[in-house]
Amino acid sequence: MASFTLHGIPVSRGIAIGRAHLLAPAALEVKHYLIAEEQVEAEVARLQDALATVHKELQTIWNELPKDSPAELGAFLDVHALILSDPMIAEVPLNIIRSRHYNAEWALVTQIDELSAQFDEIGDAYLRERKADIQQVGERVLKVLTGTAVDLPKPQGDEPAAKMIVVAHDISPADMLHFKNGAFAGFVTDVGGQNSHTAIVARSLDIPAAVGMFNASALIAQDDWVIVDGDAGVVIVDPPQVVLEQYRDRQTRLLRERKKLVRLKKTPAITKDGTEITLLANIELPDDCAAAMEAGAAGIGLFRSEFLFMGRSAFVTKLPGEDEQYESYRKAVAIMKGRPVTIRTLDIGADKPLDAAEQTALNPALGLRAIRYCLAEPQIFLMQLRAILRASAHGPVKILVPMLAHAFEIEQTLAMIEQAKQQLRDAGKKFDANIQVGAMIEIPAAALALPMFIKRMDFLSIGTNDLIQYTLAIDRVDHEVAHLYNPLHPAVLYLLSSIIAAGAREGIPVAVCGEMAGDIKLTRLLLGMGLREFSMHPTQLLPVKNEILNSDLTVLATQTRRILRATDPVAITEAVAQLGAL
């Protein structure tokens, strides 16, 4: 068989080499037939039994989680259990059986398709990818209904288990638990994006992975030799011997370098010229703080609070209350032991499951989301603000507000924070009266009108993912235009450098909390721009710290200025690569 190469989305760094193990897709193409009236309740009972079986499976997996499992695994199992219990899955398909006389598989697939269509309309990329959770839960139930539920492939013969590459249409977080045991070296999927749960878990486990390969599971055959380049999002199938040897050498070198990085955990992040850099962690749930501490993070730079809503946000009615949110925030503060915790307020919109009835926006990505949604739903916003403020009584907490673009939005937000403070005073509850409030700079208009923010805010945090998306007018999870997503576009670099420079001039702290902060290929460029605060996934902290320790800002600043004056994309890319050799 001739060698061929596939290109997709890199989601977890490193090199994996092994033989392909194909995971059969769940049987979403199920038989469709109508059942007789007298068979309806038996069919309902069959679906209920399947739902109960999957519940038990998830509970068993949860109970057997190793103590050192990444926090994401347990959290995603919780999300799947909540989805399974939600009436949209646990009850609506039963009603379809009773009202339309569909067989159980058909009824379930009908409902999954309906929910998937609703998620397709969501503007927020992260939330839109939650459709995969719905489908993964549905597939698990279908496998029980059709009797096709099987475990992941086991090692065969004398093939070392750690040299298997899983190739699948998609992989659920529950199935990925097998990775934790070192059974596989990497994985490739047809679907998924940077924000899919599969990608997040892969990063947390530090397993090389590439997703969004379209039809890799159809093109790759069982036992094919496969190279996964998790840095480039490239998969090489049946590589020539010379290519295989090159990647093996590179893999060995990377593994050796990674082992050395563990020694840096307690080493201060200081450049060669003596400049101290702050390295923070991005988290989604309080339990993620443990990984942040283990990696030596100086604090939490981005607590994506919307994740607290996600287990139930798909089905609207069960939003976490003030006390529940407070306990989550307080727990994060406690785990971080005096290190700052920056909590981003709800980054969600009306074009999403919190209010599915209003999914009418023609372009929801530009619609009522993030702070726009919060200001339109003041009771939800005030509840969250009170919860965050109460947590600030237990340690250093900052409030980070997403998607601000207008002066009146800033004023209204600050007014509501003051209102939440007054409500707590009236209730006799403690909080940090001087809590810092910052703005995410992720809209080009905000970047270009920065004095408006500097005047009113305590700090700024650049959300590079959305800033790039909005600046270049591309959807970064749309495979059709993914190649246009370029952090090194001159316009993006101009905005980034302008924000960082303005912050330095005015004495207001500026952080980067998007994917760029954790990309070691861009660390020196950001340092050269003047960035002194990075926030990223905990697994990326040590590699970035290593780059910082080997950087000399007096050299980088000069070279970076030249890069910022360039307009040719190829020249910029080459110049950024050369920074790594300085």
Buried/exposed code over 171-204 (b: 16+ C-beta within 10 A; e: otherwise): bbbbbbbbbbeebbbbbbbbbbbbbbbbbbbbbb
| Domain presence at residue 104 | yes
Could you tell me if 420 and 512 lie in one domain? yes
Could you tell me if 168 and 184 lie in one domain? yes
Could you tell me if 332 and 434 lie in one domain? yes
| Domain presence at residue 521 | yes
Which structural domain, as residue segments, surrounds residue 206?
Answer: 4-24+151-258
Cα–Cα dist 42/44, whole Å: 5
Residues annotated in a binding site for phosphoenolpyruvate: 304, 344, 465-466, 476
Contacts of 375 (CB under 8 A, 6+ apart): 381, 409, 412, 413, 416
Element (H, E) at 361: none
Q: How many CB atoms lie within 10 A of CB 441?
A: 32
Could you tell me if 9 and 120 lie in one domain? no
Could you tell me if 434 and 563 lie in one domain? yes
| Final residue in a domain of this structure, among 106, 127, 146 | 146
| Domain presence at residue 30 | no
| Domain presence at residue 511 | yes
Chain centroid, CA 272 distance in Å: 32
Cα–Cα dist 485/465, whole Å: 9
The verdict on whether 197 is a catalytic residue reads yes
| Domain presence at residue 29 | no
Contacts of 358 (CB under 8 A, 6+ apart): 350, 351
Could you tell me if 17 and 84 lie in one domain? no
Report the half-sphere exposure of 553 (CA within 13 A, side-chain side). Answer: 16
- Give the DSSP letter string of 373-422: HHHHSHHHHHHHHHHHHHHGGGS-EEEEE-S--SHHHHHHHHHHHHHHHH
For residue 85, give both structure tokens: 């219990």
| Domain presence at residue 267 | no
Q: Which one from 178, 197, 394, 537 is the annotated catalytic residue?
A: 197
For residue 497, give both structure tokens: 């450098």
| Final residue in a domain of this structure, among 91, 118, 146 | 146
Provide the CATH number for the domain around residue 543: 3.20.20.60
For residue 421, give both structure tokens: 């403070």
Environment class of residue 404 by beta-carbon count within 10 Å: exposed (0-12), middle (13-18) or buried (19+)?
buried
Residues annotated in a binding site: 304, 344, 442, 465-466, 476
| Domain presence at residue 31 | no
Cα–Cα dist 344/284, whole Å: 10
The pLDDT profile of the chain, 582 residues, written as one tens digit per residue, is 689 999 888 888 889 999 998 876 654 557 788 888 899 999 999 999 999 998 888 888 777 776 666 666 677 777 788 888 888 888 999 999 999 888 998 899 888 888 887 777 666 666 666 777 888 888 888 888 887 665 555 545 444 445 788 898 887 766 666 555 556 788 899 887 766 667 777 777 778 999 888 889 889 998 899 999 998 889 999 999 999 999 999 999 988 888 888 889 999 999 999 999 999 999 888 988 998 999 999 999 999 898 787 655 444 456 889 999 999 999 999 999 999 999 999 987 533 445 444 445 566 667 788 999 999 999 999 999 999 999 999 999 999 999 999 999 999 999 999 999 999 999 999 999 999 999 999 999 999 999 999 999 999 999 998 899 899 998 765 656 767 888 999 999 999 999 999 999 999 999 999 889 998 999 999 999 999 999 998 888 999 999 999 999 999 999 999 999 999 989 999 999 999 877
Q: State whether residue 274 is helix, strand or coil.
A: coil
Provide the CATH number for the domain around residue 56: 1.10.274.10
Cα–Cα dist 87/104, whole Å: 16
Could you tell me if 298 and 418 lie in one domain? yes
Q: How many CB atoms lie within 10 A of CB 65?
A: 14
Q: Which one from 169, 374, 513, 537 is the annotated catalytic residue?
A: 513
Report yes or no: 227 and 208 within 8 Å, Cβ to Cβ. Answer: no
The verdict on whether 289 is a catalytic residue reads no
Contacts of 123 (CB under 8 A, 6+ apart): 349, 351, 352, 361, 363, 364, 365, 366, 367, 369
Provide the CATH number for the domain around residue 198: 3.50.30.10
Report yes or no: 10 and 231 within 8 Å, Cβ to Cβ. Answer: yes
Q: How many domains does the chain have?
A: 3
Could you tell me if 382 and 444 lie in one domain? yes
Element (H, E) at 353: none
| Final residue in a domain of this structure, among 117, 146, 175 | 146
Could you tell me if 132 and 250 lie in one domain? no
Could you tell me if 562 and 435 lie in one domain? yes
Could you tell me if 107 and 177 lie in one domain? no
Report yes or no: 63 and 144 within 8 Å, Cβ to Cβ. Answer: no
What are the helix (H) ranges across 181-267?
A: 197-205, 216-219, 241-261
| Domain presence at residue 184 | yes
Could you tell me if 297 and 223 lie in one domain? no
pTM (predicted TM-score):
0.70
Buried/exposed code over 295-319 (b: 16+ C-beta within 10 A; e: otherwise): bbbbbbbbbbbbbbbbbbbbbeeeb
